């Protein structure tokens, strides 16, 4: 390609470090789309003859058919997807293929291809997240009244419904969808036509190519266009946050499926056995989802490190951008698919959840609230009294609801037997009626909202 300037070929190790076709062949569809748009624009502007434009279009269609059928030979000596396509095009249509590169560079070509690919990855992540939200919503619809312990500091705190817990993740994954959508909006500008870094003297129409490729507009600065990779970083940042949320849910599934909790059961579809212990049912899918977070976050750190010291404009360092994004996208896609499957597959065990919710005096706050409302005490004073009553129950080894009223009255003489009504798990659950609370009435409002949003 640059034989006019160089008298000898590259060293073997230079060829090895320079080649990118092994991974950037994933950009074939985007490269072909960009070339079609560029060729059509060149014809429209009179830079390319109609005859050459027709030949290029026909040749590109044949290249696309060969790639789709698995008959295309990707050659490492041609370095990247761009030269592989151009070389095959030349074999098919002759010298006209050499006119396709008029008014563009591999710099704006790869920046365009990569934006198109990452744009599709954002859309795909949003679709996967929606499927996961729907699976969690289905669980919530079935379990608005299923009581489980809510935790803080991994200690039983207050009763919540399993539906409320599931909907917390629906909210998280909604924000993840929003991040991918926001990133997509910002990256939806076309670098094509910026050439190497300074633009081109040919009378090209960048608006035309941008529109043909579904971009909102051309990028305004040619140097920025060929060297910016913040769109890839933003995708990786969104992927890292989404993976963190997936990992949190995966951790809970691992805990819930353990016999010590017994909150859920997973089927054979998402568990494995042991090579030595016949009784084992291991939640390996959840564990692997949890682990994928490291791979995805690692990709973000890797690309950030590549970018941090690059002066404008293009440098070959940018060849390292694609593998990080491809690996993260693959890991995220697999993790989202596995988590959606597990969310639909898991079977809650309400009796075990309730048993766990009864431990740790989870209605102590309800007792404090009762003292506030009936005895008109300040909350801090009521909190102290409720704590003292919990201590009595703990000393006697009984639940709050089983502590005699006379014992409670040694702390708060004004208490009556009406206090026992608020010490029931169901009472506590139904009492949390503030907006966004765990009361079944409020939870069903959330379910109705998400059913509409995810329809």
Query: Active site includes 153?
Result: yes
Active-site residue (options: 20, 161, 245, 274): 274
- Give the CA count within 13 Å in the CB-facing half-sphere of 427: 16
- Give the CA count within 13 Å in the CB-facing half-sphere of 388: 13
Question: Which of 312, 160, 292 lies closest to 228 in space, CA to CA?
Answer: 312
Active-site residue (options: 101, 124, 143, 153): 153
Query: Active site includes 124?
Result: no
Catalytic residues: 153, 274
């Amino acid at each position: 390609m640059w034989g006019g300037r160089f008298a000898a070929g590259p060293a073997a190790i230079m060829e090895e470090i320079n080649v990118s076709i092994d991974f950037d062949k994933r950009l074939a569809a985007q490269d072909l789309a960009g070339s079609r748009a560029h060729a059509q624009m060149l014809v429209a502007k009179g830079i390319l003859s109609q005859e050459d434009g027709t030949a290029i279009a026909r040749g590109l269609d044949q290249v696309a058919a060969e790639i789709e059928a698995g008959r295309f030979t990707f050659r490492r000596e041609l370095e990247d997807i761009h030269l592989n396509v151009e070389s095959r095009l030349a074999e098919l249509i002759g010298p006209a293929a050499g006119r396709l590169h008029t008014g563009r560079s591999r710099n704006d070509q790869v920046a365009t291809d990569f934006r198109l690919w990452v744009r599709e990855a954002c859309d795909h992540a949003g679709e996967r997240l929606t499927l996961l939200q729907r699976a969690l919503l289905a669980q919530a619809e079935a379990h608005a009244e299923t009581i489980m312990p809510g935790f803080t500091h991994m200690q039983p705190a207050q009763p919540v419904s399993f539906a409320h817990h599931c909907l917390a993740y629906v909210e998280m994954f909604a924000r993840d969808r929003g991040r991918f959508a926001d990133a997509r909006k910002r990256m939806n500008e076309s670098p094509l036509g910026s050439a190497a870094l300074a633009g081109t003297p040919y009378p090209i129409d960048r608006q035309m190519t941008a529109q043909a490729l579904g971009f909102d507009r051309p990028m305004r600065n040619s140097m920025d266009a060929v060297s910016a990779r913040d769109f890839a970083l933003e995708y990786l940042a969104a992927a890292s946050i989404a993976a963190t949320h997936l990992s949190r849910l995966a951790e809970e599934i691992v805990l819930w499926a353990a016999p010590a909790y017994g909150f859920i059961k997973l089927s054979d579809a998402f568990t494995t056995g042991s090579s030595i212990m016949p009784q084992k049912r291991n939640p390996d899918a959840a564990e692997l989802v949890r682990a994928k977070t490291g791979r995805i976050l690692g990709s973000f750190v890797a690309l950030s490190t590549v970018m941090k010291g690059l002066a404008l404009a293009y440098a070959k360092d940018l060849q390292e951008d694609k593998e990080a994004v491809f690996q993260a996208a693959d890991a995220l896609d697999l993790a989202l698919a596995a988590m959606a499957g597990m969310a639909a597959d898991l079977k809650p065990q309400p009796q075990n959840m309730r048993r766990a919710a009864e431990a740790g005096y989870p209605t102590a706050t309800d007792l404090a609230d009762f003292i506030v409302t009936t005895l008109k005490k300040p909350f801090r004073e009521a909190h102290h009294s409720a704590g003292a009553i919990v201590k009595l129950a703990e000393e006697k080894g009984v639940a709050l609801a089983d502590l005699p009223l006379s014992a409670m009255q040694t702390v708060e003489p004004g208490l009556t037997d009406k206090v026992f009504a608020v010490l029931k798990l169901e009472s506590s659950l139904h009492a949390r009626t503030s907006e966004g609370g765990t009361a079944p009435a409020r939870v069903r409002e959330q379910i109705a909202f998400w059913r509409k949003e995810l329809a």
